Chain A
Amino acid sequence: MVDDSAIRALEAKLVELRQMMEAGNVDLTEELAMLESKLLKLRREQYARMSEWDRVKLARHPERPRGLPLVEAMAHAFYELRGDRMGGDDPALRGGPAILGDHRVMLLFHHRGSTPEEQRACRHGMATPEGYRKSLRLMEIADRLKLPVISLVDTPGAYPGVQSEEQNIAGAIAQSISRMLSLNVPTIAVILGEGGSGGAIAVAAADRVLMMENATYSVISPEGAAAILWKDPSATPQAAQALRLTAPQLLELELIDAIVPEAIGGAHTDPKRTAEDLRATLCQQLTTLCERPLDELRHLRYKRYRNAGSARTPTDPS
């Protein structure tokens, strides 16, 4: 990550000054304001210098708002539904009906866990066939009860394991994509942290795809690409650059619709604001989408994915 020692020093200084102000009756308002603007400037500069690889690290930041805590901060009510009704429940891909502002929705989200035990149980957000079959089940419910589907995507990828293969993880992902595309309700996907490959697109083939400013979305991790194409793990930052996996780059490629801005320094510097901003953005998008007639929505959805990332014919002048 970018060297942030200057920022940390300033932050410490600010805390110190505030304590001094509270303790004694010294008025340090001016000094505080000066330091704060200096801090903001530093953060902006650092932010602008960030490489793609820095963004990957920010997207994976351990304190990044995500999973169940984010959902609880964002929704007025959330009722978790568990199990795929076929033999298991995956703690890495979760969901249930929720209330967001004025909207009743069906939420789907990856969960990485915060404690080491939880992270192990959730396999750091890598979902299994049970997870994708649960998402399929929840989409069925959403279709039936006319709940727009919102997915919060944050996964390194689907879980690569013997059992995953035995239970046909590929088929589970394919079915999840297929069902999401055929839903008779509006759908929104937010790439929240890492949008890792098939495990991400399984719940991200939506009417609107938003990306957090520092999220990444890619067909392969930079580490994976470095191993396969460069055959050299030290080429990972280069691979991150080549893959064009940041939000601004994907917006330019017209693969996503909008970027949700984060606090300077990253979403983890202000989790409360992250939850509020995301809720506001989602509610706004929901209002727009819900006004559209269903036929039109489905037609636009087909066109969107039918044309996504299309090649031009050599004879096509455009």
Chain B
Amino acid sequence: MPIRRDSKGRYVEVELRRAEETLWLRCRECGELVFRRKLKETNHICPRCGAYFFLTAQERIASLVDRDTYAPIESGYASDDPLAFVDRRPYRERLDEAQAITGLNDAVVVGRGMVDGRPLLLAVMDFRFIGGSMGQVVGEEIAVALERAAELRIPFVLVVASGGARVQEGAVSLMQMAKTVAARNLLAAANVPFIAVFTYPSTGGMLASVASLADVTIAELGAMIGFAGPRVIEQTTGQRLPESFQTATFALEHGVVDQVVPRESLRAELARALLVLSGDHNG
């Protein structure tokens, strides 16, 4: 994982790990061993150096949603491996491994909950699951969440942690861009607000579809936001990339996001946005 962000909002690379398996996590930035339970209190920010640990979908949900208000919406979908794809390893194996490690069907978790007493429909991506890539299951789950939000008339919040499309599903994953956008249009027709939260990373096909169509977009400090990978850009254009390229600040400066906030303020920021957007749907 090519992950290292400096200055404020560094992201700390954490190896794929089974949820709740280890008691201690080492900060890759400063080397500090941090007690896992302690991390929960600090929003998974290193108490010594301030670097951000990756959040699993469940950890992200817990950090945003009011205590005891979260109710998952489980579809039970799992990838069909539509292309019967094999590279150096069968995709099937990668899926099984990712499922075992994360305990998830795929790279997104959908549910209902409250933030500061305001209801929302939440879809949170999990980067551990094949880089948070969008294949048929992620596309389906996000579409279901959007449709449900439209039906219930409660705001939809998408927390992005995705490297882009799921390459192993080929054109099937490409179709998920159209699928999620179609469902997003349905939510728009129902006049229900949509807030996107960009975290590390928010890139590729995920960014070039539903994620870029929110009414309000909040970036977590340390997010990476961009369509093409930095290496691809350098190779194609021979251009030198600016220092701040594809950071949250870069996105803010270029009009791509509305706010950039540190992790510890994300929940309050979301609550503020929900307050002004969903006053009519209180409770």
Contact = CB atoms under 8 A, between A and B. Distances in A.
Interface of A: 158-162, 164-171, 173-175, 177-178, 181-182, 197-198, 200-202, 205, 217-220, 224-225, 228-231, 235, 238-239, 242-245, 250, 253, 255, 301-302, 305-306, 308-315
CB-based closest 8 A-B pairs: A160-B228, A309-B172, A308-B175, A174-B212, A229-B87, A170-B207, A170-B227, A173-B208
6 contacts: A162-B245, A165-B233, A205-B181, A219-B166, A219-B167, A255-B175
Contacts of B88: 229-231
A164 B250 CA distance: 13
A219 B171 contact: yes
Contacts of B229: 160
Nearest to A315: B76
Contacts of B209: 173-174, 177, 198
Nearest to B203: A170
A244 B136 contact: no
Contact of B226 (A159, A165, A229, A255): A165
A177 B174 contact: no
Interface string B213-228: 1000000000000111
Interface string B167-194: 1111111111111011111100000000
Contacts of B78: 311, 313-314
Contacts of B79: 311
Interface stretch (B16-24, B236-244, B273-281): B236-244
Contacts of A177: 177-178, 181, 209
B139 interface: yes
A201 B177 contact: yes
A221 B263 CA distance: 36
B182 A306 contact: yes
Given A174-B208, A311-B77, A161 B239 contact: yes
Given A162-B245, A218-B171, 14 more contacts: A159-B236, A161-B236, A165-B245, A169-B227, A177-B209, A201-B174, A201-B175, A239-B87, A242-B170, A306-B143, A306-B179, A306-B182, A309-B179, A311-B136
A242 B85 contact: yes
B82 A253 contact: yes
Contacts of A229: 87-88, 167-168
Contacts of B208: 158, 169-171, 173-174, 198, 202
B175 A305 contact: yes
Contacts of A308: 172, 175-176, 178-179
B123 to A, nearest CB: 16
A230 B87 contact: yes
A118 to B, nearest CB: 18
B283 interface: no
Contacts of A162: 233, 237, 239, 241-242, 245
- Taking residues whose C-beta sits less than 8 angstroms from the other chain, chain B's interface range is 35 or more
A53 to B, nearest CB: 15
B186 A302 contact: yes
Interface SS of chain B: helix
Given A220-B167, A255-B171, A311-B79, A168 B254 contact: yes
Contacts of B143: 306
Contacts of A200: 174
B170 A218 contact: yes
A255 B172 CA distance: 7
A182 B175 CA distance: 16
Contacts of B75: 313
Contacts of B136: 309-311
Which of B170, B185, B209, B211 neighbours the largest number of chain A CB atoms within 10 Å of its CB? B170
A160 B167 contact: no
Interface string B107-151: 000000000000000000000000000001101100100000000
Contacts of B210: 174
B177 to A, nearest CB: 5
B185 A198 contact: no
Nearest to A132: B208
B161 to A, nearest CB: 16
Contact of A242 (B77, B86, B254): B86
A318 to B, nearest CB: 11
A166 B254 CA distance: 6
Contacts of B213: 174-175, 178
A91 B183 CA distance: 32
